[in-house]
Chain A
Amino acid sequence: MEVQYVVGVAVVAVLVGVPAFVLWRLVRGRRELGTSPAERATFETLHTASLAGPPLRAGLTAEGAEKASRHLRTLLGSSALAITDSERLLVYDGAGDHHAGEAFAHARATLKDGRTQVLDLDCPLLECPVRHAVVVPLTTDDRVVGTLAAYGPHASAGLVRAAQEVAGWVDSQLELAELDRSRTLLMEAEVRALRAQISPHFIYNSLTTIASFVRTDPERARELLLEFADFTRYSFRRHGEFTTLAEELRSIDRYLILERARFGDQLQVTLRIAPEVLPVAVPFLCLQPLVENAVRHGLESKDGVGRITIIAEDAGAECGISVEDDGLGMDPDRLRRILAGEITPAGGVGLANVDERLRQVYGDEYGLVVETAPGAGTKVNVRLPKYHPGVSAR
């Protein structure tokens, strides 16, 4: 019975203690904001600006403007504030809501010529603090993309100056947003450009192999030609950046059938695939170059039998794939430079390409891990998360 009380007390202590600790940290964080009033004012201004920044990083949108407007108004110290883009009012925040309807009309002149305007408003309501408006343009690349208007009882030179400074600050945030957007577009374009590069050598070699069977074994030649057709249909498909591991392995199987027709018993392949990981979504053609690489290194550049081992294992929330050959291996330094894109090896950019794409999609911790040394074969390891936001095979 006593034990139960002890546990009960412990549970209550945790339930009360953790929120109390968090609250204490928050309060203490506030107090550390400097001592003198000037210091505190500086910190507070900077803090307000930093709060207004993130919502604007998505560009000039109604949602972002709405979130930022409250903080911008604090920065300006005006009664009300309006933000427009070039077509409509995005947000009107503060006193005198009845002016919201005409706010876009106030901005029109500034939108046209990009100059700061100071307007006198006649408002029939006596208690309304909105008497004057200062409208400043928001620009990116010297182009007027919107306006920021500060409303208040007076239009002092100070308010005009402050509005222009704030607008300048907003401009820089919008430029950052533009930068973010173009970086995103660049990444998408890169992923698209990087996908699907099957080697011309393989096409040539396969066709000559098939040609050699046409007279001696027409039935085999026909089968191989069909495999080749299926392989190319998969490799040249247009839609989707992702596929399932099952599909990818099926394509690799076709590839290996064609290569074995060419090399005969000299090529030995072992596969160990855990069926649990077959539905995992993988970047389109991300394993094919690794297998192609293994065939080339394990076989073409040495005599005798070449062995290739492909393993796909289940590892909790990830799946581990490795492609291994017993060929000549590689100098680790040279490999590092290939992966860094400093040198382009003859016969394709397979490894570097796959590495780049995996990093783009899953982040830097999911790049290729290669174990190799001259004369010791090569083993390429890939880890793929079973779930990653936005990644889906269909």
Chain B
Amino acid sequence: MSLTAVLIVVLAAVLIGAFGIRVSRTTSDFYVASRTVSPLWNASAIGGEYLSAASFLGVAGLILSFGADMLWLPVGWTGGYLVLLVLVSAPLRRSGAYTLPDFAEARLESMTVRRTASGLVVLIGWLYLMPQFQSAGLVLREITGAPPWAGGLLVAVVVAVNVLSGGMRSITFVQAFQYWLKLTALAVPLVFLLMAWKADGAPAISPQDAAAWQAPLGGGREYGLYSTYSLILATFLGTMGLPHVLVRFYTNPDGRAARRTTLVVLTLLGAFYLLPALYGWLGRLYVPDLARTDAVVLTLPGRMVGGTLGDLLTALVTAGAFAAFLSTSSGLTVSVAGVLAQDLLRGGVRSFRIATVLAVVVPLTLALWARELPVADVVGLAFAVAASSFCPLLVLGIWWRRLSTTGALAGLFVGGGLACAAVLVTIVGGPHEGLANALLAQPAAWTVPIAFTVMITVSFVTPHRVPAGVARTMVRLHTPEDLNLDRGDWRPRSS
């Protein structure tokens, strides 16, 4: 039954991708057509793209194994939008940039910075796609016993076909629907699980779990305090550097709408992340011995409810999980392929095709060869890279007028480079011993400050490399759109 659910989701994705949603409108309701996407729809669409396998499966699994500390993951993944709301969303929208490289070019007026940003977007995208494919493999194995590569391959092929057949269109309503589907797929089974728990006499958690598992820093990870702070830094600051999330902000008509959208995203994510925490807690009660903890969300309905109802609920959760893989992977693939085709290949349709294949094949290969890590941890690494490269670029670019081109480049290279190196060593080499393991597995706590320091110091040293149009750019970024003032005229690029 679960397999049927997966097939339905996959088929729906292919059909929507191939035909799009074609809604014709006649002039009589034209004003409806010209109404821009409302913050609620936009926020649902962001939620739909953002909630990946890590949120859907990974968080509950990590909470099951490591306890209260892991609550920082959902908190950070939501809190990142608070930082985005306060520091980035409105100015970024006003800059007119569609992608992160666009922003780098608009603010620093340099093609070198743009290309560097493009390279980082591709790396972060790959790093984020890899665990999606890995967990697809896990889910398919869980329900059919297929080898672990099969699920990853299935999702990769569906996404590639989808994107190649014109799925570049980002259809807000489809993505918004994905959020509500994921929410339903977790919430409905949870209601039944809680009823089963109640019928079971509402058992409490065992005394030693209450002392260790449930207590902060009691989960038994080495260097827990360091890891926790590093995790907080990575998730709070990394959200703003996720390529597939930022392109969605372009759909907002102005900076004010961008802020509103971010606020709604905070609410929607806050509501969603209550659920995985409960799954983790129920998992600790009923399946504490689970070998692959990422599968706890899939296992619980069968174990606790059982029978046909249990099968139905498992099918629902599985469908939700596949929707999560497909939506996040599609969004990421479109972003990565777009940047690859435009900035690193020559552009045009042919380049986009090659780029799409590259965008899918590289993370798929990584997913097959890399060592198996908890999915939420790998996604956490992508956040660490984003936090140590794009966070300084965006925050300093928006709020500090003395940021120089050289400074930005140096910061991107040093911060992004260090974080990437740590990630590679962790994925390919690990696990390492003692403190080195903690430092490499959660690099944000040292790479983010280094990136900021390098960017600021080098900018101070190279004041003559501050872009010429910085004053005008700052006016554009920070004044509300309805203020009537001179934001500068269009000028042809001098040859």
Contact = CB atoms under 8 A, between A and B. Distances in A.
Interface of A: 3-4, 7-8, 11, 58, 63, 180-181, 184, 187-188, 191, 241-242, 244, 246, 249-250, 253, 256-257, 260, 268-276, 278-279, 281, 313-317, 360-361, 386-387, 389-394
Given A246-B253, A260-B27, A184 B33 contact: no
Given A241-B489, A390-B493, A394-B481, A8 B429 contact: yes
A58 B495 CA distance: 10
A273 B33 contact: yes
A392 B168 contact: no
Given A272-B25, A315-B169, A390 B98 contact: no
Nearest to B371: A4
A11 B428 contact: yes
Contacts of B171: 274, 276, 314
B79 interface: no
B198 interface: no
B169 A279 contact: no
Nearest to B479: A394
A279 B252 contact: yes
Given A272-B23, A314-B171, 15 more contacts: A4-B371, A184-B491, A184-B492, A184-B494, A188-B489, A246-B34, A250-B34, A269-B27, A271-B27, A276-B250, A279-B251, A316-B352, A317-B98, A361-B490, A390-B490
Contacts of A279: 36, 250-254
A268 B36 CA distance: 24
Contacts of B99: 317, 387
A256 B27 contact: yes
A27 to B, nearest CB: 22
Given A281-B96, A387-B98, A394 B26 contact: no
A271 B481 contact: no
A7 B370 CA distance: 8
Range, interface on chain B: 35 or more
Contacts of B487: 392, 394
B168 A276 contact: no
Nearest to B253: A279
Interface of B: 22-27, 30-31, 33-37, 96-99, 102, 105-106, 109, 168-172, 250-254, 334, 338, 342, 352, 369-371, 424, 428-429, 464, 476, 481, 487, 489-495
Closest 9 CB pairs of A and B: A316-B168, A386-B98, A387-B102, A387-B98, A187-B492, A273-B33, A269-B27, A275-B37, A314-B169
A139 B315 CA distance: 81
B172 A276 contact: yes
B344 to A, nearest CB: 14
Given A253-B27, A394-B487, A317 B338 contact: yes
B24 A278 contact: no
Nearest to A308: B27
Contacts of A58: 494
A244 B481 contact: no
Most buried by A among B171, B464, B492, B495: B492
Given A4-B371, A314-B169, A275 B491 contact: no
A184 B251 CA distance: 32
B250 A386 contact: yes
Given A316-B334, A386-B98, A394-B487, A275 B24 contact: no
Given A11-B428, A315-B169, A387-B99, A270 B26 contact: yes
Contacts of B25: 270-273
Contacts of A242: 490
A390 B96 CA distance: 9
Contacts of B370: 7
Most buried by B among A8, A317, A390, A393: A317
Contacts of A386: 98, 250
A191 B489 CA distance: 11
Given A11-B424, A278-B253, A316-B352, A387 B26 contact: no
Contact of A275 (B96, B172, B371): B172
11 contacts: A3-B369, A4-B369, A180-B495, A181-B494, A249-B33, A256-B27, A269-B27, A272-B23, A317-B99, A386-B250, A392-B96
B18 to A, nearest CB: 15
A155 B334 CA distance: 66
A271 B26 contact: yes
A346 to B, nearest CB: 28
A8 B429 CA distance: 7
Given A184-B491, A241-B489, A246-B36, A391 B96 contact: yes
B253 A244 contact: yes
A193 B250 CA distance: 31
A197 B98 CA distance: 30
A315 B168 contact: yes
B251 A316 contact: no
A316 B338 contact: yes
A276 B424 CA distance: 37
A253 B490 CA distance: 27
A7 B253 CA distance: 46
A391 B429 contact: no
A195 to B, nearest CB: 11
A239 to B, nearest CB: 8
A4 B253 contact: no
B342 A276 contact: no
Contact of A4 (B27, B31, B352, B428): B428
Nearest to A242: B490
A8 B251 CA distance: 41
B458 to A, nearest CB: 19
Contact of B105 (A241, A274, A389): A389
Contacts of A257: 27
B34 A273 contact: yes
A392 B428 contact: no
A309 to B, nearest CB: 9
B27 A272 contact: no
A188 B172 contact: no
A188 B487 CA distance: 16
A64 to B, nearest CB: 12
Contacts of A275: 33, 35-37, 172, 251
B22 A272 contact: yes
B208 to A, nearest CB: 35
A274 B482 CA distance: 24
Contact of A272 (B24, B168, B252, B494): B24
Nearest to B35: A275
A253 B263 CA distance: 33
Contacts of A276: 37, 169-172, 250-251
Given A249-B34, A316-B338, A389-B493, A270 B429 contact: no
Contact of A387 (B96, B170, B251, B429): B96
B98 A8 contact: no
Contacts of B24: 270-272
A191 B27 contact: no
A390 B342 contact: no
Nearest to A277: B251
